[in-house]
A and B are shown apart, each in its own frame.
Chain A
Amino acid sequence: MKALSRIYAIFYKELLQLKRDKMTFAMIVMIPLMQLILFGYAINTNIRHIPVGVVDQSHSALSRILIQTISATQVVTFEQHYMNTTQAEAGIASAQVRAVLVIPADISQRLARHPVVGLGTPPATNQETVRPVAQWMVDGSDTLVASAIKSLRNMPLAELLKKPANRNTPTFEVTLFYNPEQRTVVNIVPGLVAVILTMTMIMFTSGAIVRERERGNMEMLITTPVSSLELMIGKIIPYLFIGFLQVIIILGLGHVLFHIPINGSLLSLAGATLLFITASLTLGLVISTIAKNQLQSMQMTVFVLLPSILLSGFMFPYEGMPVIAQNIAEALPATHFMRLIRGIVLRDANFTDLNRDIYWLILFTLGGLLIASIKFKKTLD
């Protein structure tokens, strides 16, 4: 009873301070709002309209039709014409264009031998005579751009010859679940919840104890009967609400602006979010008990934040990382929450499917609270 009163005292005090700290309060709403709109519109892995150039050595009707057919895919936009390949390479080097299409002078002969034309070249000599009709020179440094252009490699040519688009039967049939239109934003928005919560939750609490110490309140606090655990809990609770507010902003707005489906139950969503918020908050508290001042706590927050963005699967698929990086990612709460929230929001997964992630978050929270309470001594030694 007395303990509850003390926790309430800390909690209410934090609320009042937060209310008066207009800047922080604004950031609580602005961070998710701005980041959602920014990332929602900006991050797109379906790349379109890559600026490219062309070196047309054949100057034929065929080459012009080929260029038009490629333009029609919308993957690239032809912006430059170069006289020769040397100029074209210079164009790539100076970042005028990302790639250059080189159409050889003998394009009609190459096309004639192409199997699409179907002139019935003897199979035995295929290897020697059939050559690609043209060449792409690509600035391969950005792998996403490069693979977008590589996807043009097997572009159907039937259209070029006014033949019916008689495509071959593919080896595999691919059925895309959960995001059939392949919109990047569907994957980004739930992930954004994890990133923004990591950022704000750790940042707010990492400064919590340090601030009391810096402003000289700690000496008063530790002479009161407040125990370290009560102090920690009282400081965490206001941010729980803030965390939920941010989740509602991100997913609600994501639903309205980007039509992100919320397939799972709201209850499991709330449960998973609660676990992640408490895990992040305790991590912040641990930082807070180690850091000597607010600058240090900020630096430590960034130290956790960067891997949470880059290794958690938010930007790059977890499966593509080397095992060591995967192990580091496993330690981060953000990785587990990334799986949870994508699972719940997009795939309607339930807790039993995701219990490994749930257990880890619970374990992380308990461990964090324990470490923070032990590290925080009620003396000035």
Chain B
Amino acid sequence: MSEYVIQARQLSRNFGDIKAIQQLDLQVEKSQIYGFLGPNGCGKTTAIRMLIGLLKPSSGEIEVLGLKLPDNADKLRLKIGYMTQNFSLYYDLTVKENLQFIGRVYGLSINEQKKRIDELLDVYDLNKQKNQLAGTMSGGQRQRLALSAAILHHPELLFLDEPTSAVDPENRRDFWEKMFALSDQGTSILVSTHYMDEAERCHKLAILKSGIKRADDTPENLMQQMDANVVEIEANNLPQLKKDLLELSDIISTAQLGARLRVLVKKSVKDPLDFLSQHNNIQSRDQLTLARPNLEDVFVTSTGEQST
């Protein structure tokens, strides 16, 4: 039986009339990277803030690292690290000063601080920038600084709120390497993202849409158990075909990929290839192939909407 670092039951939060999170159940295992996937405004940040104790839930129960929230929020703070969506360290302090500030705030001794900061500067490749003001650094550097600040006090559990949204692809890949390294060392990580490729790298994944959890499993299971088949069609006049196909109730979505149209057909349709070739607009010379589902298809199927 694996150990859970986060358990939430029937978690809800309203802002006035807006239901930001509705009846969210969540279980995150130790040493895993758990992903929140969803479009902007789906409640990822709200959920994370509640799990940290920054927001009080309107209803529901939360237990993080064995501590009941929101009552034990103060105790929890020493055990978790949190990287906010927007850079929240001080732009007018240098890298080193920012890290020293965090070190003092968490009560590290002067020796510990020194050792840990040197170590982090090394691992996160910030030695050259250590005396540079955070405000003058690039997005990638700033993000590495934010991560090192979040893990400076060796938290058991790390919350990362869209850590890579302001970073180029190379830095993103690099960032994920660092996350896996942390996870290997035993740190549990909850990360939110709206990138499919990132979500695919998580051990487990929850898909959020308008504050409701639509799916929750490993990326592989999600793709295998997806409630649709994927068919790729090569044909002329794709925009017209796309329009026509979308009118059929058994078609979940269509998306043009260059010269091909990627069509999601409901699983209830026994033979999707045959079903599509019956369609008026599809000529015999058009190529129809079954394709392997990807996470974007899962996302679209479970949220019933085209992803951004």
Beyond A13-B93, A381-B56, is A219–B88 a contact (Cβ under 8 Å)? yes
Contacts of A9 in B (CB 8 A): 100-101, 103-105
User: Min CB distance, B231 to chain A, in Å?
Assistant: 45
Measured between beta carbons, the chain A residues less than 8 angstroms from B77 are 223-225
Evaluate contact between B88 and A380: CB separation under 8 angstroms.
no
Q: How far in angstroms is the closest Cβ of chain B from A105?
A: 78
Contact with B55, one of A1, A6, A226, A381 (Cβ below 8 angstroms): A381
Q: Please indicate the chain A residues that have their CB under 8 angstroms from the CB of B101 in the complex.
A: 9, 12-13
CB of A17 within 8 A of CB of B90, answer yes
Instruction: Say yes or no: B88 contacts A220, CB within 8 Å.
Output: yes
Determine whether A21 belongs to the interface, using a CB cutoff of 8 Å to chain B: yes
Q: How far is the CB of B149 from chain A (nearest CB, A)?
A: 8
When distances are taken between beta carbons in the complex, the residues of chain B under 8 Å from A16 are 92-93, 97
Main secondary structure of the interface of B (DSSP, over half): loop
- Complex CA distance for A225 and B106, rounded to whole angstroms: 7
Instruction: Tell me if A225 and B86 are in contact (CB < 8 A).
Output: no
B78–A225 touching, CB < 8 Å = yes
User: Are B107 and A2 in contact, with the CB atoms below 8 A?
Assistant: yes
Q: Are A6 and B104 in contact (CB under 8 A)?
A: yes
A162 part of interface (Cβ distance < 8 Å): no
- A21-B92, A219-B88 given; A6·B105 CB < 8 A: yes
Q: B54 at interface (Cβ–Cβ under 8 A)?
A: yes
Separation in Å of the A14 CB from the closest CB of chain B? Answer: 10
Q: Does B105 lie within 8 Å of A225, measured CB to CB?
A: yes
- Using known A-B contacts A225-B78, A380-B54, determine if residue A220 contacts B106 with beta carbons closer than 8 Å: no
Asked if residues B88 and A17 are in contact (CB atoms below 8 Å), the reply is: no
B235 adjacent to chain A (CB < 8 Å): no
Docked CA distance A220–B85 (Å): 10
**B230 contacts chain A at the CB level, 8 A cutoff:** no
Cα–Cα distance between A227 and B133 once the two chains are bound (Å): 27
Distance to closest chain A CB from B162 (angstroms)? 13
Give the distance in Å from the alpha carbon of A226 to the alpha carbon of B77 in the complex: 9
- What is the size category of the interface that chain A forms with chain B? 20 to 34
Query: Within 8 Å of chain B (Cβ to Cβ): is A217?
Result: yes
B86, A216: Cβ atoms closer than 8 Å: yes
Residue A244 is within 8 A (CB to CB) of chain B in the complex: no
- Scan residues 71-97 of chain B and give those whose CB is less than 8 A from a CB of chain A: 73-74, 77-78, 80, 82, 84, 86-93, 97
Judge if A379 is at the interface, Cβ distance under 8 Å: yes
A291 in the interface (beta carbon within 8 A): no
- The distance from the CB of B136 to the nearest CB of chain A, in whole angstroms, is 12
B74 touches A225 (CB 8 A): yes
Q: How far is the CA of A227 from the CA of B52 in the complex (A)?
A: 16
Q: Provide the B172-204 mask, 1 if CB < 8 A to any CB of A, else 0.
A: 000000000000000000000000000000000
| Residues of chain A contacted by B54 (CB below 8 angstroms) | 219, 222-223, 379-380
Interface size class of B (residues with CB under 8 A): 20 to 34
Nearest B residue (CB) for A18: B92
| Cα A168 to Cα B106 with chains together (Å) | 80
B90 touches A8 (CB 8 A): no
Report Cα–Cα, A5/B97, bound state, in Å. 15
Least CB separation from B161: chain A residue: A219
* Cβ of A118 to closest chain B Cβ, rounded Å: 81
Task: List the B side residues contacting A113 at CB < 8 Å.
Answer: none
Q: Tell me which residues across on chain A come within 8 A of B49, comparing CB atoms.
A: 380
A167: chain B residues within 8 A (beta carbon): none
| C-alpha gap A127/B91 in the complex (Å) | 83
Contact A220 B55 (CB under 8 A): no
Tell me whether B6 is interfacial, beta carbon within 8 Å: no
Contact present for A5 and B104 (CB under 8 Å): yes
Q: How far is the CB of A86 from chain B (nearest CB, A)?
A: 67
In chain A between 218 and 244, which residues have their CB closer than 8 angstroms to a CB of chain B? 218-220, 222-227
Contact B92 A20 (CB under 8 A): yes
A1 to B97, CA, bound (A): 21
Known A9-B105, A21-B92; judge A216-B87 contact (CB<8 A).
Answer: yes
Q: Does A224 lie within 8 Å of B88, measured CB to CB?
A: no
Is B43 at the interface (CB under 8 A from chain A)? no
Pick the most buried of A8, A13, A217: most chain B CB atoms within 10 A of its CB: A13
Residue B102 interfacial (CB < 8 Å)? yes
Given A16-B97, A379-B56, A216-B105 contact (CB < 8 Å): no
Given the known interface contacts A21-B92, A215-B91, the answer about A379 and B55 at a Cβ–Cβ threshold of 8 Å is yes
Instruction: Mark each residue of chain A from 201 to 224: 1 if its CB lies under 8 Å from any CB of chain B, else 0.
Output: 000000000000001111110111
**A81 on the interface (CB 8 Å rule)?**
no
Residue-wise, chain A 338-373 has the 8 Å CB interface mask toward B (1 for contact) of 000000000000000000000000000000000000
CA distance A213 to B85 in the complex (A): 14
With an 8 A cutoff between CB atoms, is A110 at the interface?
no
Residue A378, interface by CB 8 Å: yes
Most chain B beta carbons < 10 A, residue from A217, A219, A223, A224: A223
A sample of 13 more A-B contacts (CB under 8 A), given A6-B105, A215-B91, A225-B78, is A6-B107, A8-B104, A17-B90, A21-B92, A216-B88, A219-B84, A222-B54, A224-B102, A224-B106, A225-B77, A225-B105, A378-B73, A381-B55
Q: Shortest 5 CB-CB distances between A and B: which pairs? A: A9-B104, A220-B88, A2-B107, A223-B82, A224-B105
29 A-B pairs within 8 Å (CB atoms) are namely A1-B107, A5-B105, A6-B105, A8-B104, A9-B101, A10-B105, A12-B101, A13-B93, A13-B97, A16-B97, A17-B92, A17-B93, A215-B90, A219-B54, A220-B82, A220-B89, A223-B77, A223-B80, A223-B82, A224-B102, A224-B105, A225-B77, A225-B78, A225-B106, A227-B74, A378-B74, A379-B53, A379-B54, A381-B55
Question: Which chain A residues have a beta carbon within 8 Å of chain B's beta carbons?
Answer: 1-2, 5-6, 8-10, 12-13, 16-17, 20-21, 215-220, 222-227, 378-381
Interface residues of B (CB under 8 A from A): 49, 52-56, 70, 73-74, 77-78, 80, 82, 84, 86-93, 97, 100-107, 133, 149
